[in-house]
A = this chain, B = another copy of it.
Amino acid sequence: MGIINGLDILLKNKCETLPSIDMDENYELSVSGSKSNTLALLTSDSVWGILRGLESFSQLLYASVKGNMIFINETYIEDYPRYTHRGLLIDTSRHYLPLKTIKLILEGMEYNKLNVLHWHITDDESFPYQSRKFPELSDKGAYHPEMFIYTQNDILKIIRYATQRGIRVIPEFDTPGHTRSWGEGRPELLTVCDSSRDGTNFYGPINPSNSFVFSFMEEFFKEIKELFPERYMHLGGDEVSFECWKANKDVNSFMRKMNITGDYAALEGYYIQRLLNIVNKLNISPVVWEEVFNNGVKLPTSTVVQVWIEPWKKTVQAATNRSHGVLLSSCWYLDHLATGGDWINFYKCEPSSFAGTPVQKKLVIGGEACMWGEVVNRFNIIPRIFPRVSAVAEVLWSTIKSRDLKTMQSVSARLEEHTCRMNKRGISAQPPNGAGFCI
């Protein structure tokens, strides 16, 4: 037993300034010594490892009963993440989230060693991204053109806040479906669904038969690439309804020309293919939702497939079999609710539990908890995310062996403790299990 005067930090390599898919989060932490000679040392090859180690160090400290002393046990830790991509999806289209809320979420993510904010920034309901080149998109497509937008500067603030915490920010501009809000400012991007029944027109997905769409997307993603330092971007591609394409004459005559008459999955494939070519030229590495893969779109193997549909095992098997990197989300939908709590189910979900070779297992680069925005606003999103996401975070960081999958008692106790810790740090996490309190 001795007194620690501080934590020595040894960063072995140059300090990187941007977290990336390749970032090294390994660290070593040792607290040792005798009364006269104590040492607390945190070592890492990278600043990201230092950040993770500092988080662990802070969690190892505990107060004396009277609260006037802080203790730490002797320890030696070699720690590193099981998966490189440990993410949380937030959705700022269904409900706008103030910067303050997003920053709090980032703080909470750091406390759980999560390292990717998947920012589903636009969707049918609103377009809060203020584009430099196409300001009409948010002028007309946001819930409010001034109050409910993210300016370029806002986004830079979020990226900076995330970067300081070793968190990557992957933006998602979901196309060709989930794009109704794009049409407010730029109706020519969307397919007009010719509804012969009642004579009114309404808008469907992006219109791939309109070549203007692709020059627009090229300009748009150029801007996004300039704004976001992250190499990966999410292109969406989920839940594309074919009904509207079916009803549009231009789309169908285009498909005849392309020799894909009646094959709307092929049309979606055509769109995605051209979009992939665009982002490829921009040196953007793409992530897509699983439908793009399921529909047989020819994807370069460098495209990461995010699997969200239950059951998920066959899809993960198929995508890794085709050499795609895979992100798992199916079992971690935070918008799904269950009386009595559900973190146990999140915790039990094992990303490697599909039939595949060791090579395939390695292609699962991680996973993401998804906090879709329909039923969360700035008032309930933080307690809805935390501490439920902590269970996901542990699955993605820790080895299977270290996970207590039988009784869950030790996990449960740690989750109680961690919830109180988050509360004290300003994260309004909800109770994980049941009755209780934090001192």
| A430: chain B residues within 8 A (beta carbon) | 375-377, 379-380
A129-148 to B contact mask, C-beta < 8 Å, 1/0:
00000000000000110011
Q: Is A115 an interface residue (CB 8 A)?
A: no
Q: State the majority secondary structure of interface residues on A.
A: loop
Nearest-CB residue, chain B, relative to A439: B144
In contact, B340 and A339 (Cβ under 8 angstroms): no
| A339: chain B residues within 8 A (beta carbon) | 335-338
Write the nearest CB–CB distance from A94 to chain B, whole angstroms: 4
| A126: chain B residues within 8 A (beta carbon) | 435, 437
| A375: chain B residues within 8 A (beta carbon) | 340-341, 430-431, 434
| A96: chain B residues within 8 A (beta carbon) | 437
| A429: chain B residues within 8 A (beta carbon) | 379
| A434: chain B residues within 8 A (beta carbon) | 94, 374-375
Interface residues on A, range: 35 or more
Nearest-CB residue, chain B, relative to A423: B379
**With A and B bound together, what is the CA distance between A3 and B373 in angstroms?**
42
**With A and B bound together, what is the CA distance between A336 and B337 in angstroms?**
10
What are 22 A-B pairs with beta-carbon distances under 8 A? A94-B434, A94-B436, A96-B437, A144-B437, A147-B439, A148-B437, A337-B337, A337-B338, A337-B339, A338-B339, A340-B375, A374-B434, A375-B430, A376-B431, A377-B430, A379-B382, A379-B383, A379-B423, A379-B429, A380-B383, A380-B384, A380-B430
Q: Is A28 an interface residue (CB 8 A)?
A: no
In contact, B380 and A436 (Cβ under 8 angstroms): no
**With A and B bound together, what is the CA distance between A148 and B94 in angstroms?**
38
| A380: chain B residues within 8 A (beta carbon) | 380, 383-384, 428, 430
Q: Is A218 an interface residue (CB 8 A)?
A: no
Q: Is A95 an interface residue (CB 8 A)?
A: yes
| A437: chain B residues within 8 A (beta carbon) | 95-96, 126, 143-144, 148
Q: Is A112 an interface residue (CB 8 A)?
A: no
Q: Is A250 an interface residue (CB 8 A)?
A: no
> Which positions 403-439 of chain A face chain B at CB distance < 8 Å?
423, 428-431, 434-437, 439
Q: Is A93 an interface residue (CB 8 A)?
A: yes
| A431: chain B residues within 8 A (beta carbon) | 95, 374-377
Q: Is A125 an interface residue (CB 8 A)?
A: yes
**With A and B bound together, what is the CA distance between A370 and B96 in angstroms?**
30
Nearest-CB residue, chain B, relative to A148: B437
**With A and B bound together, what is the CA distance between A95 and B436 in angstroms?**
6
> Which positions 334-364 of chain A face chain B at CB distance < 8 Å?
335-341
In contact, B428 and A379 (Cβ under 8 angstroms): yes
Nearest-CB residue, chain B, relative to A427: B379
Write the nearest CB–CB distance from A329 to chain B, whole angstroms: 16
**With A and B bound together, what is the CA distance between A439 and B96 in angstroms?**
11
| A439: chain B residues within 8 A (beta carbon) | 144, 147
**With A and B bound together, what is the CA distance between A144 and B437 in angstroms?**
9
**With A and B bound together, what is the CA distance between A16 and B59 in angstroms?**
56
**With A and B bound together, what is the CA distance between A113 and B375 in angstroms?**
25
**With A and B bound together, what is the CA distance between A423 and B434 in angstroms?**
27
| A374: chain B residues within 8 A (beta carbon) | 431, 434-435
> Which positions 354-399 of chain A face chain B at CB distance < 8 Å?
373-377, 379-380, 382-384
Top 7 nearest A-B pairs (CB, nearest first) are: A379-B428, A94-B435, A380-B383, A143-B437, A125-B435, A337-B337, A380-B430
| A94: chain B residues within 8 A (beta carbon) | 434-436
| A377: chain B residues within 8 A (beta carbon) | 430-431
**With A and B bound together, what is the CA distance between A144 and B438 in angstroms?**
10
**With A and B bound together, what is the CA distance between A147 and B374 in angstroms?**
37
> Which positions 314-348 of chain A face chain B at CB distance < 8 Å?
335-341
Write the nearest CB–CB distance from A125 to chain B, whole angstroms: 4
| A341: chain B residues within 8 A (beta carbon) | 375
**With A and B bound together, what is the CA distance between A373 and B434 in angstroms?**
8
